[in-house]
Each structure stands twice: as C-alpha cells, then as structure tokens.
Amino acid sequence: MPKIVDPDQRRRQILDAALHLIVTRGVDGLSFRTVAEESGLNVGSIRNTYPSQHDLLAAAAEDVGDSMDRRLESHDLSGTPGTHTVETAVAVLGELLPLDEDRRRENIVLGEFMMASRTKDVFRDITDHMSGDMLSVVTAVLTGLGVPADRTPQAAMTVKTLMVGMTFDASTSHGALSPEGMTTLLTEALQSASGRTH
C-alpha cells in the first residue's frame, strides 16, 4: 500500500529545514540539495512542493512573516489614539525584535533576505513588503500612543530605524545588545516620541 503523504507536514518539514539553513549558512547556503540533506527528503519531493528556489525562499520569508503576524494578532493595531501606553507599545513592537531565541532566528532570516536584496533583485519585492509592513505596525502603535498626526511619519521612521539597527546588532556576532538593552532603548524612543513616561 503506498504511503500517504501529508502535504502540510511535508511543507513544514521543508520550511523548517530551509529556515535552519538560512540561519546557519545564509541565503547562499540554501539549495534543493542542502534542503534535501537537512530535511531527510529527496530533491524531487522538494521540487514538487516548491518548483523553484525562488518559490522556496519566498515561502520561507512568508512563513516568518506569518509567525510575526500571529503574535501581533493579540495586540491592538487599530491606530486609535489612546489605545496604547508606553508599556503596551513596547510589548507590541517587541514582538518584532529578537528578544528570545525564536524571534532571533526569525530576524536573522529576515536580515539575510534584506542583505541579499542589495545585489539580487529577486528579493527586493519581498523585503520592500516586509519593510512596509513593519512601518505600518510602528505607525499604528505610535498613533495609538497619541503621537500627533503631524509628527507620526517622522517618529515612525525614527523608531523603525532604531528597531532595524538593534535587530542587526543583536543578530550578528559583534552585537552586544541584550533583550533588556533593546527594551530600554525602545522604551526611551517611545517616551521621546510621545512625550509620555508611561
């Protein structure tokens, strides 16, 4: 009797292998062969699920984005003034920072895509979309925190840039920022943007 293959389980197995390879070897270390070795599947099975390497890379980026989206679902992103304090704003934006091992891995993957997009056009749409999504989240949180509308665009860009810089620092070997350090810097930036201390 032929073995019944669960396509969702196979997809998960392939994506887990791909994400692990991106974290440990970078985007250039990802190929059908390396994913097959890492996942224990054959190359044909991987190609049946993801016909091209670009499809696989796009799915990996989407998987990381979906994981972040699931965490954000429990927070208020309505952008309604008064829905956030500095503390709740830090909690929301902290979902996007490498504050634990899972989020660190996610951010390494996203960082690899951003670096690759500098020289490979195929990644540009993915990274532009991710960057726009991040700015939208930051903008909604700052609006909820009561930052005046005329100051929100500049404040959102400042906070987003800080978050990207902290993520890069914490995700690379030279980085010295701890989760507590990132949280402190983010808190100070939100206090400065909103004029609030809580």
Same-domain check for residues 12 and 93: no
56 domain-assigned: no
Distance CA 45, CA 62 (A): 20
12: domain CATH number? 1.10.10.60
Distance CA 155, CA 157 (A): 5
178 domain-assigned: yes
Task: Report the 10 Å Cβ neighbour count for 149.
Answer: 8
Same-domain check for residues 117 and 164: yes
* Residue 3 confidence (pLDDT): 61
pLDDT, tens digit only, all 198 positions of the chain: 456 668 899 999 999 999 999 999 998 899 999 999 999 999 999 999 999 988 998 899 889 999 999 999 999 999 999 999 999 999 999 999 999 999 999 999 999 988 888 888 878 888 898 899 999 999 999 999 999 999 999 999 999 999 999 999 988 877 678 999 999 999 999 999 998 777
Output the CA–CA distances (angstroms, integers) from residue 90 to 94, 131, 146, in the order listed: 6, 19, 14
* Residue 178 confidence (pLDDT): 92
Q: What is the full DSSP assignment across 150-172?
A: TTHHHHHHHHHHHHHHHHHHHHS
Task: Report the 10 Å Cβ neighbour count for 21.
Answer: 21
3-state helix, strand, coil in the chain (%, to 5): 70, 0, 30
Q: Which domain holds residue 38?
A: 1-51
